[in-house]
Amino acid sequence: MEYILDVQNIQTFIGQYHILQGVNVRVPKGSIVALLGRNGAGKTTTLKSIIGLTAPREGKVIFNGQEVNGMRSFDISSMGIGFVPEHRAIFRDLSVEENLKIAERKKGDYLRKKDFIFELFPDLKRLISLPGTSLSGGQQQMLAIARALVPDNQLLLIDEPSEGLAPVIIESMMAAIRELAKESTVVLVEQNFLVASKLAEYYVIIEEGRSVQDGNMKDLVADKAAIHRYLGAA
Amino acid sequence: MNSFLRKNFIVIIAFAVMAAFLIAAAQGMEKKDFVITLLRGLAVGSITFLVASGFSLIFGLLDVLNLAHGTLFMIGAYIGWTVVVRPDTFVDLLTPLALIASGFALGDVYPLLASRIRLGSSMRRILPWALILVSLLIFWRILPRYPIAIWDVENYGQSPVTFAFMADSGTRLPVLPAAFTEVTMSSALIGLLLASIVIAFGISLFDTSPRTVKLTWKNFIWFAVALIVAIVGVVFNNAMTDYLFGLNSNWLFFVAVVVATLSGVVLGGLMEATLIRPLYSRPIYQLMLTLGMSAIGIEMVRAIWGRPEFVMSKPEFFNGGGEACPATNFADWWANHCSTILFLDGRVRVYNEIFIPLVGLVVLVSIWILLQRTRLGMIIRAGVQDREMVEALGINIRRVFTMVFALGVGLAALGGVLAAPSSGLSNAMGESLFLNALIALAIGGLTNYPGAALGSVIVGMIQQFIIKYGQIGIPIPFTDIVFKPTPPLVPASTVMLMVIILLILPNGLLGKKE
Ligand SMILES: Nc1ncnc2c1ncn2[C@@H]1O[C@H](COP(=O)(O)OP(=O)(O)OP(=O)(O)O)[C@@H](O)[C@H]1O
Ligand SMILES: [Mg+2]
């Protein structure tokens, strides 16, 4: 199988804390891979280690066959990785349009992708000139994802898109992620197992900074014991 | 609208109180005094704003409290003075300074070079220091021997004070041109260029993160610019000196403003790239470093320009005198370029009270447009909130940091050179103004750009009104006592206002709650 992203045994420190102590993630091209695990397991840190915001001290991150660990964040990201952070971290002081424009990597990215983005998230079109602050939680999450769609990204790292959203909104969010996964590969961190199991084809479970189990999502759904042990959910 | 009132209740009250004070002040003095004091407050406020806005831009994006900002303001003034009074010194300095900067302009090329060199880990650790040492030795050999025509701080007749005095009275002391005697021109130029490249390469080795660099001609532009400046500076040395000496004082002043501002920009860029950058993970050290830079800056100014205060003459454009002056209206002023205009029977100094506030306004609007209407401004606003995310979008935020630091220092230097003709040059000019700027920012909101302007104007006004009342006195109601605020009350009053405002509004008048 061809892997667009291959994370090999990364060790990440934050300050003197040894947060990731061996995480392996393999992402087949064109798939959706879910990172699962309890609060504080190290899922967000894994995403940040991939994009270089918390650079791994050891191990390898290979993107499209090229070793990117140790490179600066903006260089890694420029190779075609989009990052959608947790807690809907959009730029509050920028308007919706500016939030999208700032993500341009080449001039004209925004104009080129505009229609695609507004088709996916029709709400945003209406809100285009509002400041980020005045958006609802769901709209902010849409914007955070839309922002990662502006440049040509081959890989999207999405951190807890369903966090704190109402069920109806989660539905449309899932539809949007499915739609954009047709164009690019997705690594998804998701606490809501139901959402994760419906979206992803593969999974990796992270526990206390280690990847402890991975495989096909279908197999995990059937494995009630593993779900209970690692995720504490039924 | 209602919710707007409720949300901004305290701010509105604060403005109402200040307006009441202004009206009260207007009752106590003649109309002309009031208007002129208002204009003076605006003038002081504008200079304060130039320092405060740069400081706040830097703090907002980089989280660096640049305690050297006042010193850089002062350096701007001294550089401007040098261009106006000793253009020959300025021209002589052009080449060595451009050469010293040239190596740093190649910053993008070094990582590529470094990746070609394979070394053991201990060599890797030694190499940068060895390179820095070698280049410092070369600098130490060449720089003291490099010919620069300069004044003599020790000799009163040749000191900056005397040069300033003569220039102000319209004549020039004769100057001796310098020539290459102790080193040959070619060895000096090549030596400086090499030393600069070596030291910049050495410093770049401290940053070990691998990078993908695609070199294009753009990476060499600034290097080329520096080389061209260096070559032009040495080849056309005499021609440029003669040209500058021949310029009228308006153009010379204009050149001085541009040179001082650009020097601030370059100095700020270099300072961020070499000293501030390695310390982002240690903010306390960064703070100490800027404090140290401030002290070193003041000592350098003392060593180069001496301790005594001196003046910088105003450009002719604002300095006319004679029969027709003071001017009574604008057309009249335009014809004679009087230094003052008669307004409500009071004399308004054109340079201080009209030109400086105008420049302040232009800067205010330009920076506002930069922040709100350009991509760089968008990145700055986003970076103030979330640097990591900006970087994760593929934007080289480091470079933006350098640019913002350079811009901030450039604004301070601009403030310095503009203030020089109105308040003179002294070793202490930076400190008091920096204190004003800090108070202004505390009042207006530390990282709020309009807040910086508002706070600066408030600080300027309060000080000028208190100075004015120190002259005319405040009659205390129902008594015969006339209270005259003493000079120490001037800084004390603004500090007091700051304390009061911060007690009521911890984030300043326009600061956002975090
Ligand atoms: N800046 C930091 N300093 C110290 N420890 C940190 C820091 N950031 C994260 N950690 C720790 O690293 C561990 C992993 O954090 P991470 O955010 O990756 O977890 P997560 O799996 O994303 O959790 P959640 O599901 O709650 O988002 C946690 O134990 C957390 O306390
Ligand atoms: Mg997380």
Question: Does residue B261 have a pLDDT over 90?
Answer: yes
Quick check: A71 and B211 CB within 8 A? yes
Residue A80 Cα to ligand 1 midpoint, Å, equals 25
Nearest ligand 1 atom, CA A48: 18
Q: What is the average per-residue pLDDT within B313-341?
A: 79
Phi-psi region of B433 (alpha: psi -120 to 50; beta: other; left: phi over 0): alpha
Q: Could you report the per-residue pLDDT of A106-120, keeping only the tens digit for each?
A: 889 999 989 999 988
Closest to B385 (Cβ–Cβ): which among A75, A93, A101?
A93
Kind plus residue range of the DSSP H or E element containing A5: strand A3-14
- Write down the mean pLDDT value for chain A: 89
Q: How big is chain A by its Cα radius of gyration, in Å?
A: 17
Among B321, B350, B452, residue whose Cα is nearest residue B36: B350
Chain A touched by B372 (CB under 8 Å): no
pLDDT at position B179: 81
* Chain B neighbors of A105, CB-CB under 8 A: 394
- A114 with A173: CB under 8 angstroms? no
Which of residues 190 through 219 in chain B touch A, CB cutoff 8 A?
Answer: 209-212
Q: Which ligand is nearest to the CA of A19?
A: 1
Question: DSSP string covering B389-423, please?
Answer: HHHHTT--HHHHHHHHHHHHHHHHHHHHHHHHHHH
For residue A104, what is the nearest residue in chain B, using CA coordinates? B393
d(CA A6, CA A94): 35
Question: Does residue B489 have a pLDDT over 80?
Answer: no
Compute the nearest-CA separation of B376 from chain A (Å). Answer: 9
Query: Residue A128 half-sphere exposure, CB side, CA atoms within 13 Å?
Result: 10
Q: Measuring from atom 23 of ligand 1, which residue has the nearest CA?
A: A40
Per-residue CA distances from B321 to A138, B47, B326, B335, B446 (Å): 68, 25, 7, 12, 42
B336: how many CB neighbours lie within 10 A of its CB? 16
Phi-psi region of A106 (alpha: psi -120 to 50; beta: other; left: phi over 0): beta
Phi, psi of A105 (to 5 degrees): -105, -30
Question: Does residue A98 have a pLDDT over 50?
Answer: yes
Which of residues 122 through 181 in chain B touch A, CB cutoff 8 A?
Answer: none
Residues of A with CB under 8 A from a CB of B: 51, 53, 55, 70-75, 77-79, 83, 85, 89, 91-94, 98, 101-103, 105, 147, 151
Q: Which ligand is nearest to the CA of A49?
A: 1
Q: Please tell me what DSSP assigns to residue B103.
A: G
pLDDT at position B97: 92
Closest to A51 (Cβ–Cβ): which among B386, B392, B398?
B392
Highest mean pLDDT among A69-73, B288-292, B316-320: B288-292
Q: What is the average per-residue pLDDT within A22-51?
A: 92
Quick check: A71 and B388 CB within 8 A? no
Question: Does residue B399 have a pLDDT over 70?
Answer: yes
Q: How far apart are the first and last CA of chain B?
A: 23
d(CA B205, CA B228): 27
Nearest ligand 1 atom, CA A45: 18
pLDDT at position B211: 67
Q: What is the average per-residue pLDDT within B165-189?
A: 83
Nearest ligand 1 atom, CA A19: 12
Say which residue the tokens 């091209």 belong to. A29
Question: Does residue B77 have a pLDDT over 90?
Answer: yes
Closest to A91 (Cβ–Cβ): which among B385, B392, B394?
B385
Q: Please tell me what DSSP assigns to residue A187.
A: E
User: Which runs of E-coded beta strand occur in B119-169?
Assistant: none
d(CA A7, CA B72): 47
B129: how many CB neighbours lie within 10 A of its CB? 12
Percentage, residues of chain B above pLDDT 90: 43
Residues with CB under 6 A from ligand 1: A 14-15, 17, 19, 37, 39-45, 86, 191
- B255 with B83: CB under 8 angstroms? yes
Closest to A93 (Cβ–Cβ): which among B209, B381, B388?
B381
Q: What is the average per-residue pLDDT within A139-151?
A: 92
Question: Does residue B473 have a pLDDT over 80?
Answer: no
Chain A touched by B385 (CB under 8 Å): yes
* Chain B neighbors of A98, CB-CB under 8 A: 378, 382
Compute the nearest-CA separation of B437 from chain A (Å). Answer: 25
Compute the nearest-CA separation of B205 from chain A (Å). Answer: 15
Q: Which residue has better confidence, A165 or A6?
A: A6
pLDDT at position A234: 47
Q: What is the average per-residue pLDDT within B265-275?
A: 90
- Interface predicted TM-score (ipTM): 0.90
Among B132, B78, B140, B134, residue whose Cα is nearest residue B274: B132
User: What pairs with residue B254 in β-bridges?
Assistant: none
User: What pairs with residue A214 in β-bridges?
Assistant: A204
- A63 with A17: CB under 8 angstroms? no
Q: Which ligand is nearest to the CA of A15?
A: 1
B250 burial level (CB within 10 Å; 0-12, 13-18, 19+): middle
pLDDT at position B13: 78
Closest to A53 (Cβ–Cβ): which among B212, B388, B398?
B388
Instruction: Give the β-pairing of A81-84 and A32-36.
Output: unpaired
Ligand 1 pocket: which of A38, A39, A44, A187 to mutate (most atoms within 8 A of CB) = A44
Quick check: A91 and B211 CB within 8 A? no
Percentage, residues of chain B above pLDDT 70: 97
- Write down the mean pLDDT value for chain B: 87
Residue A189 Cα to ligand 2 midpoint, Å, equals 8
Single pTM value for the model: 0.89
Question: Does residue B404 have a pLDDT over 90?
Answer: yes
pLDDT at position B281: 85
Question: Does residue B336 have a pLDDT over 80?
Answer: no
Closest to A102 (Cβ–Cβ): which among B209, B388, B393?
B393
* Chain B neighbors of A85, CB-CB under 8 A: 389, 392
Compute the nearest-CA separation of A98 from chain B (Å). Answer: 7
* Helix axes of B69-85 and B397-423: crossing angle, nearest 10 degrees: 60
Q: What tokens does B238 get?
A: 């005499």
Quick check: B393 and A147 CB within 8 A? yes
d(CA A19, CA A207): 11
Q: Measuring from atom 12 of ligand 1, which residue has the nearest CA?
A: A19
Quick check: B209 and A101 CB within 8 A? no
Chain A touched by B335 (CB under 8 Å): no
d(CA B153, CA B86): 14
Q: Could you report the per-residue pLDDT of A196-213, keeping only the tens digit for each?
A: 989 999 999 999 999 988
* Chain B neighbors of A79, CB-CB under 8 A: 212
Question: Does residue B197 have a pLDDT over 80?
Answer: yes
Highest mean pLDDT among A136-140, A178-182, B292-296: B292-296
pLDDT at position B295: 95
Q: What is the average per-residue pLDDT within B221-244?
A: 91
- B444 with B508: CB under 8 angstroms? yes
pLDDT at position B210: 66
d(CA B73, CA B418): 10
Q: Could you report the per-residue pLDDT of B110-152, keeping only the tens digit for each?
A: 888 887 877 777 888 889 999 999 999 999 999 989 988 888 8
Q: Which residue has better confidence, B471 or B46?
A: B46
d(CA B415, CA B422): 11
Alpha helices in A52-180 (DSSP H): 73-78, 96-101, 109-120, 122-126, 137-149, 167-180
Compute the nearest-CA separation of A206 from chain B (Å). Answer: 23
pLDDT at position B514: 52
